[in-house]
Structure 1
Amino acid sequence: MADIDFPPDLVALERSAWAEIQAGALTLDTARAVQDGINAFAAEAGLGRLDVEMGLKKIVRHPAAEAA
Protein backbone atom coordinates (compact mmCIF):
# COMPACT_ATOMS: atom_id res chain seq x y z
CA MET A 1 0.00 0.00 0.00
CA ALA A 2 2.81 2.41 0.78
CA ASP A 3 4.02 2.15 -2.81
CA ILE A 4 0.82 3.57 -4.31
CA ASP A 5 1.32 7.01 -5.85
CA PHE A 6 -2.08 8.60 -5.22
CA PRO A 7 -3.15 11.51 -7.40
CA PRO A 8 -3.41 14.78 -5.44
CA ASP A 9 -7.09 15.25 -6.29
CA LEU A 10 -7.96 11.86 -4.76
CA VAL A 11 -6.00 12.68 -1.61
CA ALA A 12 -7.80 16.02 -1.39
CA LEU A 13 -11.18 14.28 -1.72
CA GLU A 14 -10.32 11.87 1.09
CA ARG A 15 -9.10 14.76 3.27
CA SER A 16 -12.42 16.53 2.72
CA ALA A 17 -14.33 13.38 3.63
CA TRP A 18 -12.22 12.84 6.73
CA ALA A 19 -12.81 16.44 7.86
CA GLU A 20 -16.55 15.97 7.36
CA ILE A 21 -16.48 12.68 9.28
CA GLN A 22 -14.67 14.30 12.19
CA ALA A 23 -17.24 17.12 12.22
CA GLY A 24 -20.10 14.63 12.07
CA ALA A 25 -21.22 16.10 8.77
CA LEU A 26 -20.23 13.67 6.03
CA THR A 27 -22.48 14.20 3.04
CA LEU A 28 -23.58 11.59 0.56
CA ASP A 29 -22.08 13.66 -2.25
CA THR A 30 -18.65 13.68 -0.61
CA ALA A 31 -18.77 9.98 0.20
CA ARG A 32 -19.85 9.15 -3.34
CA ALA A 33 -17.13 11.35 -4.86
CA VAL A 34 -14.46 9.58 -2.80
CA GLN A 35 -15.74 6.12 -3.69
CA ASP A 36 -16.03 7.02 -7.38
CA GLY A 37 -12.46 8.37 -7.30
CA ILE A 38 -11.17 5.26 -5.56
CA ASN A 39 -12.92 2.97 -8.03
CA ALA A 40 -11.66 4.91 -11.05
CA PHE A 41 -8.08 5.09 -9.78
CA ALA A 42 -8.03 1.40 -8.82
CA ALA A 43 -9.29 0.37 -12.26
CA GLU A 44 -6.86 2.68 -14.07
CA ALA A 45 -3.87 1.56 -11.98
CA GLY A 46 -4.82 -2.13 -12.07
CA LEU A 47 -5.07 -2.28 -8.28
CA GLY A 48 -7.66 -3.71 -5.96
CA ARG A 49 -10.27 -1.20 -4.79
CA LEU A 50 -9.85 -2.26 -1.17
CA ASP A 51 -6.05 -1.83 -1.32
CA VAL A 52 -6.49 1.65 -2.77
CA GLU A 53 -9.09 2.63 -0.19
CA MET A 54 -7.06 1.32 2.75
CA GLY A 55 -3.87 2.99 1.53
CA LEU A 56 -5.61 6.28 0.92
CA LYS A 57 -7.22 6.29 4.37
CA LYS A 58 -3.86 5.46 5.94
CA ILE A 59 -2.00 8.38 4.37
CA VAL A 60 -4.79 10.83 5.19
CA ARG A 61 -5.69 9.63 8.69
CA HIS A 62 -2.24 8.51 9.87
CA PRO A 63 0.36 10.57 8.00
CA ALA A 64 3.02 10.03 10.68
CA ALA A 65 2.90 6.27 10.06
CA GLU A 66 3.76 6.82 6.38
CA ALA A 67 6.70 9.09 7.24
CA ALA A 68 8.29 6.51 9.54
Structure 2
Amino acid sequence: MADHMVHAFEEVVEKQRAAEQAHNRVEELRHSFGPPTEHKWTKQQTATYETAWRAWRDLDRDAQAALAQYAKERGRSRQEVQADVETAVGRSEQE
Protein backbone atom coordinates (compact mmCIF):
# COMPACT_ATOMS: atom_id res chain seq x y z
CA MET A 1 0.00 0.00 0.00
CA ALA A 2 2.74 2.45 0.96
CA ASP A 3 4.58 1.67 -2.29
CA HIS A 4 1.86 3.46 -4.22
CA MET A 5 2.61 6.72 -2.38
CA VAL A 6 6.22 6.85 -3.45
CA HIS A 7 6.71 8.70 -6.70
CA ALA A 8 9.88 7.99 -8.58
CA PHE A 9 11.69 11.11 -9.72
CA GLU A 10 11.36 9.88 -13.33
CA GLU A 11 7.59 9.69 -12.90
CA VAL A 12 7.46 13.31 -11.74
CA VAL A 13 9.63 14.31 -14.71
CA GLU A 14 7.36 12.41 -17.12
CA LYS A 15 4.27 14.16 -15.75
CA GLN A 16 5.98 17.55 -16.07
CA ARG A 17 7.08 16.76 -19.63
CA ALA A 18 3.53 15.73 -20.58
CA ALA A 19 2.15 18.96 -19.10
CA GLU A 20 4.70 21.06 -21.02
CA GLN A 21 3.91 19.27 -24.28
CA ALA A 22 0.19 19.89 -23.70
CA HIS A 23 0.93 23.56 -22.99
CA ASN A 24 2.93 23.80 -26.22
CA ARG A 25 -0.06 22.36 -28.07
CA VAL A 26 -2.34 25.05 -26.57
CA GLU A 27 0.15 27.75 -27.65
CA GLU A 28 0.40 26.28 -31.17
CA LEU A 29 -3.38 26.27 -31.54
CA ARG A 30 -3.66 29.84 -30.27
CA HIS A 31 -0.95 30.88 -32.72
CA SER A 32 -2.45 29.08 -35.73
CA PHE A 33 -6.04 30.18 -35.04
CA GLY A 34 -5.03 33.75 -34.25
CA PRO A 35 -6.18 35.69 -31.18
CA PRO A 36 -9.88 34.98 -30.55
CA THR A 37 -10.47 38.72 -30.15
CA GLU A 38 -9.28 39.38 -33.73
CA HIS A 39 -10.48 36.23 -35.49
CA LYS A 40 -13.86 34.61 -35.08
CA TRP A 41 -12.99 31.01 -34.30
CA THR A 42 -15.20 28.30 -35.76
CA LYS A 43 -17.05 25.98 -33.38
CA GLN A 44 -14.53 23.28 -34.31
CA GLN A 45 -11.55 25.53 -33.52
CA THR A 46 -13.10 26.55 -30.21
CA ALA A 47 -13.78 22.90 -29.28
CA THR A 48 -10.26 21.85 -30.30
CA TYR A 49 -8.72 24.66 -28.27
CA GLU A 50 -10.87 24.01 -25.20
CA THR A 51 -10.08 20.29 -25.31
CA ALA A 52 -6.35 21.03 -25.54
CA TRP A 53 -6.60 23.60 -22.74
CA ARG A 54 -8.43 21.17 -20.44
CA ALA A 55 -5.88 18.44 -21.18
CA TRP A 56 -3.04 20.83 -20.29
CA ARG A 57 -4.81 21.97 -17.11
CA ASP A 58 -5.39 18.37 -15.97
CA LEU A 59 -1.85 17.25 -16.82
CA ASP A 60 -0.40 20.31 -15.09
CA ARG A 61 -2.48 19.63 -11.97
CA ASP A 62 -1.27 15.99 -11.94
CA ALA A 63 2.34 17.10 -12.40
CA GLN A 64 2.10 19.65 -9.58
CA ALA A 65 0.50 17.11 -7.25
CA ALA A 66 3.18 14.50 -8.00
CA LEU A 67 5.91 17.09 -7.47
CA ALA A 68 4.46 18.19 -4.14
CA GLN A 69 4.07 14.57 -2.99
CA TYR A 70 7.62 13.70 -4.06
CA ALA A 71 9.04 16.72 -2.21
CA LYS A 72 7.05 15.89 0.93
CA GLU A 73 8.10 12.24 0.90
CA ARG A 74 11.74 13.23 0.68
CA GLY A 75 11.60 16.17 3.07
CA ARG A 76 12.76 18.60 0.38
CA SER A 77 11.39 21.98 -0.59
CA ARG A 78 9.01 22.11 -3.49
CA GLN A 79 11.14 24.79 -5.19
CA GLU A 80 14.22 22.59 -4.97
CA VAL A 81 12.43 19.62 -6.54
CA GLN A 82 10.82 21.87 -9.19
CA ALA A 83 14.28 23.09 -10.23
CA ASP A 84 15.58 19.50 -10.48
CA VAL A 85 12.55 18.45 -12.52
CA GLU A 86 12.90 21.41 -14.91
CA THR A 87 16.59 20.59 -15.37
CA ALA A 88 15.75 16.95 -16.13
CA VAL A 89 12.98 17.91 -18.57
CA GLY A 90 15.32 20.34 -20.34
CA ARG A 91 18.08 17.71 -20.59
CA SER A 92 15.79 15.08 -22.09
CA GLU A 93 14.48 17.52 -24.70
CA GLN A 94 18.03 18.26 -25.86
CA GLU A 95 18.85 14.59 -26.38
Matching of residue 37 in structure 1 with residue 61 in structure 2: no
Q: Calculate percent identity across the aligned residue pairs.
A: 22
How many residue pairs align between the two structures? 58
Higher helix residue share:
2
1:22 pairs, out of 18, 24, 44, with: 24
Question: Runs of 4+ in structure 1 displaced over 4 angstroms?
Answer: none
Measured on the aligned residues, the alpha-carbon RMSD in Å equals: 1.7
- Give the superposition deviation at 1:22: 1.6
Higher Cα radius of gyration: 2
Unaligned runs of 5+ in 1: 1-5
TM-score w.r.t. structure 2 length? 0.54
Between 44-53 and 25-34, the greater mean CA deviation after superposition: 25-34
Which residue pairs with 1:3 in the alignment? none
